[in-house]
């Protein structure tokens, strides 16, 4: 057996070790040997090995100097001496001042939205600010509006979760009772009307959370957004800023977006421009596809394959499947005098179980009957259609929950997953 390559890096104060693992390669192990260092705001424990699976991108930063060791063969690994970490930490310091003021005045902590084009490090900055806040004893809310990525749940959803402990490398956020809404597409432009509706519903719910939990209210909220910042994408950003009653918008890397928001936001919303980290690199299409597949797999099997989902069989007649949105019909194709349905993209359309469902993810709605508003009801969880038996009229579902399933109303998603 070939020896595992080992590299040692000595980091000076305010230096950062950036490394990437190969998309189709082996995992890489990181160990802090001496000094102090953190990864995306999470303090590393000396002597502990942290595992980074294929396709991972990481940056280990030290304020005071450290020695770290990489075991394995990363695709790239280098030390960066110029980083925006001081700027980011200053932002955290301002947020902490606002939290202390909120405590003193029994008010609401800062509500921050991070925006910018794709691949500028929005999710990473959100993670750092959340981790730093938790290390100060806070319990901030994290809201993820990036439907293509799925930081809280799977791609094709938006959601919110209270962050009570730092997001450890490789483990992600402690997803204890997240609030998740179905959208069903990985692109926000697929159904703008639906995305605005569920964004407003999510905002209404989390703002109510502030009224019932003072500690969460004092801690505030960090909101991650997608990288579509032009045209309708910009309208989605301004809609979210209004719905969540945002106090501060952090714009990464794009001065045009910064100036547009300065122009359009109310005076009480502060807009700041910050540089992206040099470690934020462009992700190609294959990497995005692989990441989405990994997110879905982690939902069913856990980050380290520690979960054991069930194969559950259900009869066609025992479940109700719907999709949201129907194709818009041109006025030229309609009978004379009829107008196109302006609400077609938010219409609830029944779907008969059949071969077309194969490999699709379906969201299990919290709704107990179809009399409830399926658009704005959050979801209980997800299943994947493994097999469709039209002869026996049965579906085989991959499910985190054993039979019988707690609900029978499902919303079909464009997101698909195939067992390997």
**Distance between CA atoms of residues 25 and 21, nearest Å:** 7
**Residue whose entry in the numeric block shows the structure tokens 């502060």:** 270
Rounded to 5°, angle at Cα 412 from 144 and 364 = 70
16 among annotated binding-site residues: yes
Helix H or strand E segment including 300: helix 285-301
**Distance between CA atoms of residues 23 and 39, nearest Å:** 20
369 among annotated binding-site residues: no
Task: Establish how many alpha carbons lie within 13 A of residue 191's alpha carbon, considering only the half-sphere containing its beta carbon.
Answer: 27
User: Beta strand 221-224 with 111-115: parallel, antiparallel or unpaired?
Assistant: parallel
CB 43 within 8 A of CB 166: yes
Closest CA to 29 of 15, 47, 12, 14: 47
Residue 369 CA from chain centroid, whole number: 29
119 among annotated binding-site residues: yes
Closest CA to 364 of 374, 356, 353, 354: 374
204 among annotated binding-site residues: no
96 among annotated binding-site residues: no
124 among annotated binding-site residues: yes
Residue 305: C-alpha distances to residues 186, 297, 309, 320, 416 (Å): 24, 9, 10, 30, 19
DSSP per-residue codes, 37-88? -EETTEEPPBT-EEEE-TT-EEEEEESS-EEEEEES--SEEEEES--SHHHH
Closest CA to 161 of 211, 215, 223, 249: 223
57 among annotated binding-site residues: yes
Rounded to 5°, angle at Cα 261 from 255 and 263 = 105
**Distance between CA atoms of residues 274 and 120, nearest Å:** 11
71 among annotated binding-site residues: no
Q: How many residues does the chain have?
A: 420
Residue 273: C-alpha distances to residues 7, 115, 117 (Å): 36, 10, 13
Q: What are phi and psi of 234, to 5 degrees?
A: -65, -40
168: its two tokens = 């450890």
Residues annotated within a binding site for ATP: 16, 57, 119-124
Q: Residue positions in the annotated binding site?
A: 16, 57, 119-124
């Amino acid at each position: 057996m070939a020896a595992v390559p080992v590299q040692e890096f000595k980091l000076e104060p305010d230096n950062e070790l950036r490394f990437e693992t190969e998309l189709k390669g082996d995992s890489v192990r990181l160990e802090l040997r001496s000094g102090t260092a953190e990864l995306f705001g999470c303090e590393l424990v000396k002597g502990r090995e942290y595992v980074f699976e294929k396709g991972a991108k990481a940056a280990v930063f030290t304020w005071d100097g450290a020695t770290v060791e990489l075991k394995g063969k990363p695709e790239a690994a280098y030390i960066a001496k110029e980083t925006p970490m001081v700027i980011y930490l200053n932002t955290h310091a301002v947020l902490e001042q606002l939290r202390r003021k909120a405590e003193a005045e029994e008010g609401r902590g800062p509500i921050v939205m991070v925006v910018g084009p794709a691949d500028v490090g929005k999710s990473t900055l959100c993670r750092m600010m959340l981790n730093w806040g938790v290390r100060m004893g806070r319990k901030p809310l994290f809201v993820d509006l990036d439907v293509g990525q799925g930081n809280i749940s799977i791609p094709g959803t938006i959601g919110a979760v209270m962050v009570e402990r730092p997001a450890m490398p490789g483990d992600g956020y402690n997803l204890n009772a997240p609030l998740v809404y179905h959208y069903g597409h990985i692109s926000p432009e697929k159904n703008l009307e639906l995305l605005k509706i569920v964004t407003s519903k999510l905002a209404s719910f989390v703002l109510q959370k502030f009224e019932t939990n003072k500690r969460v209210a004092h801690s505030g909220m960090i909101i991650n957004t997608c990288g579509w910042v032009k045209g309708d994408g910009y309208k989605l950003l301004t809609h979210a800023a209004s719905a969540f009653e945002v106090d501060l918008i952090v714009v990464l890397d794009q001065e045009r977006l910064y100036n547009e928001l300065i122009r359009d936001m109310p005076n009480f919303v502060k807009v700041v421009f910050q540089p992206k980290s040099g470690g934020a690199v462009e992700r190609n299409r294959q990497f995005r596809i692989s990441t989405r597949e990994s997110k879905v797999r982690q939902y069913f099997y856990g980050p380290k394959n520690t979960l054991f989902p069930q194969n559950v069989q259900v009869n066609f007649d025992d479940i109700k499947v719907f999709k949201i949105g129907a194709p818009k019909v041109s006025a030229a194709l309609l009978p004379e005098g009829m107008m196109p349905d302006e609400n077609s993209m938010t219409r609830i359309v029944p779907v008969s179980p059949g071969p077309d469902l194969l490999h699709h993810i379906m969201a299990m709605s919290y709704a107990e009957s179809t009399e409830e508003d399926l658009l704005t009801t959050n979801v209980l969880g997800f299943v994947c259609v493994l097999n469709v038996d039209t002869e026996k009229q049965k579906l085989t579902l991959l499910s985190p929950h054993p039979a019988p399933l707690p609900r029978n109303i499902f919303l079909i998603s464009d997101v698909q997953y195939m067992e390997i």
